[in-house]
Amino acid sequence: MRVMVLGKATEATEQGIPPTAAEFAAMEAYTEELTRAGIVLAGDGLKPSSAGKRVSFDEDGGSAVLDGPFAETKELIAGYQIWEVSSLEEALEWVRRAPIRGGVVEVRPFYGPEDFAGLAAEA
């Protein structure tokens, strides 16, 4: 099963404050452990929302672009990884081992073909 592991933004990440050398080394070691276990498929950190844009669409398909930064830090993502694990429980076991202090991580499964079985037959 594939899951996306989302590191939520904090005030520090939104201000563009980098981690300390010790925090960076701990996360690098953790990511290396995940990689050796064959779990990490992809991942990266994201710049603060001040470097981003949002595109909203109305009911008629029109769009509007909103420049960052965005107000709700707790709703923003600072980084992500895509993992291949045997179950959601395995993903949670790995997340609990992360060297994160004072943060939040969200784990979300990807849809798979089995989630759409039968839809083509209904159409």
Residues 3-46 pLDDT 10s: 999 999 999 999 999 999 999 999 999 999 999 999 999 999 99
Question: Measured on CA atoms in the order 94, 95, 97, 99, is the torsion positive or negative?
Answer: positive
Q: What is the mean pLDDT of the chain?
A: 93
Question: Between vectors from CA 100 to CA 19 and to CA 48, what angle results, nearest 5°?
Answer: 45
Residues 36-60 pLDDT 10s: 999 999 999 999 999 999 999 999 9
At residue 74, does pLDDT exceed 80? Answer: no
Question: The pTM is what?
Answer: 0.86
Architecture of domain 2-111 in CATH? Answer: 2-Layer Sandwich (3.30)
Residues 92-102 pLDDT 10s: 999 999 999 98
Domain ranges of the chain: 2-111
